Amino acid sequence: GKNPVVGNSTELKNVVLFDNVQVPHYNYVGDSILGYKAHMGAGSITSNVKSDKTLVTVHIPDAPIETGRKKFGAILGDNVEVGCNSVLNPGTVVGRCSNIYPVSCVRGVVPANSIYKAKGNIVAKSKENSMENEAPCCFYIFLLLRKLADVYPFNAFEYLNSSSRFSSIAQI
């Protein structure tokens, strides 16, 4: 995307960054999608491989999505803020306009307009602190691509990089 901030000692591998993403320092982002204006605090990482080396599943309530991939990091929606030194485990999805407290270990799905404080302690943002009318979340693009992949197998990262419909998206 346009105007990304990729700072000192940050490593990116097979990622899609939407416009104005910030990964300013000491981050690892692998096999992940970061939505518009997503920001990862210093030292936060997206873990992209499970310790048992099995395929990654995105654990959406009542509808888990099998990625078919050994390496799959996280999907951050638009305007997500990840606190310093947090770990986003493989297959983590953070809905748009959500915040992750510093030093968190996140697994599964964090709903949009939420604050992740700790495991089992996720609270909804108050109406005045939410950004419900912001640009569409990249998470919906992922769901669309996943549905298409069920019918037409393809690599979503390659598709996003090569498609003229997503010309503002860059794969780094």
So which residues are the catalytic ones? Answer: 25
**Maximum separation of any 2 CA atoms in the chain, in Å:** 42
Q: Residue 80: CB partners within 8 Å, gap ≥ 6?
A: 34, 35, 38, 39, 94, 95, 96, 97, 98, 99, 100
Q: Are 150 and 63 in contact (CB under 8 A)?
A: no
Q: Which amino acid is at 38?
A: A
DSSP 83-113: -TT-EE-TTEEE-TT-EE-TT-EE-SEE-TT
Q: What angle do CA 103, 107, 111 make, to 5 degrees?
A: 95
Question: What are the distances in angstroms from CA 153 to CA 32, 40, 69, 139?
Answer: 19, 31, 12, 19
